[in-house]
Amino acid sequence: MTREFGKHFLVEFIGCPPDGLKHVDDVRSSFLDAAEKSRAGIIESHFHQFEPYGVSGVILIRWSHFAVHTWPDQGYAAFDVFTCGEMDPEVAIEELRRSFRAGRVEMEVRSRGF
């Protein structure tokens, strides 16, 4: 018997201008906005500023999580969202693509379960 618990979206934003990926305030704002617009149901969030630049962050949502890690010097951000609920992950992905001004987006979607 197969049981799917949710979908896990693994997203890579490539060719991003470094300035939008360097600082925690910018990444946090973009990330929270994407979560809200996708109706993710934010519970709590935490973001960390690396030195000299780069950000990691996570948002706990009603249906699992969002996570982001940035490499500004490479113009790259890795984003994942795992959801088993009524949110719209594609809206979050598009919002982040626009916000990070990604030149290219690569995505893999995995079913989670057994």
* Residues forming the active site: 64, 69, 84
C-alpha distances in angstroms, 4 versus 80, 104, 113?
Answer: 18, 29, 4
CA 59, 69, 47, 26 torsion-angle sign: negative
Looking at residue 52, what DSSP letter applies? Answer: S
Pick from 85, 98, 101: which is nearest to 39 by CA? 85
